[in-house]
Structure 1
């Protein structure tokens, strides 16, 4: 403790060798969630529906009816704000000049693209984050190992947060639809899947806008939104409509999702959640460890549920 706090009257904080405050990461997952919720709360406060009338709750509505469509959707002002945000993302991504890089570049840099753009990691998104945060970013992104990149890049950067707001807004509209619709025949999922297919040209890493989680690209938002809505629709039919399943045991981690996420981030690399691998080249031990760690967190979430302990943002 004395080595950390230092000695003398000034009580200056001395960090261990090799550690610097200049490396403190400013962006992050929870930071992105917090900002996304903040923006969405503003949209709901100023332009969203304040409450759903009791007469409309669980009432059968048909989206082909113009009046019911207006009832289900947010006000036009909310959709206009989302449209403007997405337009801002598109303009910055494809029109912002990045020094010594192609305008509109969406690649990983490094040895990607035959090594033509080694210092262009993330294109405009990476350029903005490096200008804003310097070295205060995630130091070991996925692209560093795969493409041997040398530029820092943060997957929770500023530009990608715009699209996380768009994804959150799609979730809000879905929640409203589920509250108002009881007949699955009257509930149609938005065509995110078609949009993702067009933007990516149904390729793994090509198309007009590739599906890229690190960039949180528009095609990634559409693709994940479509898959999420499909899964939600299936669960809604199985659990709420048919009553075949109550959602256990996944119900319990969902009630304490933030606690489980933070707990795994802090303790996931320690025993008993993980152990030192004996067979590094085999996938089965990684799979076993992942299943074991997940089971432990489900058990912890269940015990917290029994104690009525829930951690919320």
Structure 2
């Protein structure tokens, strides 16, 4: 059984949510919003491209993808120039220009109110001060400023990530093969250029390995991960609503124990895979 949510039904749900939720603290950006906007821009690029279908690979032309799609590459490079200029040249009040740190107690507590630098400044300017108050850096760096890891500026690099696919050498150069000592540190919350290049490289390489193992050689059918993949929306929403409750998680006995956190994460993932498997057996698939 496939359950599909029609657009009108979704509009009704959104309307009801707008009535129940206060606009003063409603989070406008988000993971799904970023993914949707990223693929929207990429689809527009492909729609207006003179090469809407992938042409056959010419022998002896390893850079055919770059040569044929040069307008898209120019657009992507312009987007990245915008990100670089805004991130490193935009003056942020009471903060160093080009600051990419977490603020709080980071950098020896020199810039406690500068979380996110230009990225957070733009979000506050466009979306107001009531943006996301629970970023991942809050617990570690004891930050007091709001910051949205899926904000406006980082979305530029998510588009670049979706287009590039693989730029591992670039990531190594920008980060100097270090965690936070490079020209542009690897920073997921900011979606920095080095993070985009690193993730693009890793995902492209992993996709290549999976394609070889599953599709070419047939050594593995993708189990058990095909089951949550067939009900990805259900698993995502279910985890968002129930992921912090038993039996998916519990109050940890040792807060600083990485092993307990790892076990809890693996246990919760295994439970959702099992639930997805039961729905797969029942032929129940939730689609939008």
Fold conserved between structures, TM > 0.5: yes
**1:295 aligned residue:** 270
**1:24 aligned residue:** 26
- Quick one: distance in 2 between partners of 1:169 and 1:281? 38
Q: 1:301 to 1:85 in 2, by over 3 A?
A: same
**1:195 aligned residue:** 170
Instruction: Pick from 217, 230, 238 the counterpart of residue 255 of structure 1.
Output: 230
- Quick one: distance in 1 between partners of 2:29 and 2:251? 30
- Quick one: distance in 2 between partners of 1:71 and 1:154? 34
Structure 2 length-normalised TM: 0.84
The alpha-carbon deviation at position 224 of structure 1 amounts to: 0.9
1:117 aligns with 2:92: no
- Quick one: distance in 1 between partners of 2:46 and 2:286? 23
Q: 1:282 to 1:76 in 2, by over 3 A?
A: closer
More displaced 10-residue stretch of structure 1: 86-95 or 263-272: 263-272
Q: 1:142 to 1:50 in 2, by over 3 A?
A: same
Instruction: Pick from 60, 67, 71 the counterpart of residue 65 of structure 1.
Output: 60
Q: How does 1:26-105 map to 2 (within 5 A)?
A: 26-47=28-49, 49-52=51-54, 56=56, 61=57, 65-66=60-61, 69-70=63-64, 75-105=69-99
Structure 1 length-normalised TM: 0.78
The alpha-carbon deviation at position 256 of structure 1 amounts to: 2.7
- Quick one: distance in 1 between partners of 2:145 and 2:247? 35
Displaced runs of 4 or more, over 6 A? none
- Quick one: distance in 2 between partners of 1:73 and 1:228? 23
RMSD over aligned Cα atoms: 2.5
Assess if the C-alpha contact under 8 Å between 1:304 and 1:310 holds in 2.
Answer: yes
- Quick one: distance in 1 between partners of 2:162 and 2:209? 20
- Any idea what SS the aligned residue of 2:101 has? coil
Q: Which of 1 and 2 has greater Rg? A: 1
**2:9 aligned residue:** none
- The higher-RCO structure (CA 8 Å, 6+ apart) is 2
1:266 aligns with 2:241: yes
- How many matched pairs? 271
Q: 1:144 to 1:277 in 2, by over 3 A?
A: closer
The alpha-carbon deviation at position 125 of structure 1 amounts to: 0.5
The alpha-carbon deviation at position 159 of structure 1 amounts to: 0.4
- Any idea what SS the aligned residue of 1:22 has? coil
The alpha-carbon deviation at position 74 of structure 1 amounts to: 5.7
Q: Structure 2 regions of 5+ residues with no counterpart?
A: 1-17
Q: Structure 1 regions of 5+ residues with no counterpart?
A: 1-12, 172-189
Assess if the C-alpha contact under 8 Å between 2:66 and 2:73 holds in 1.
Answer: no
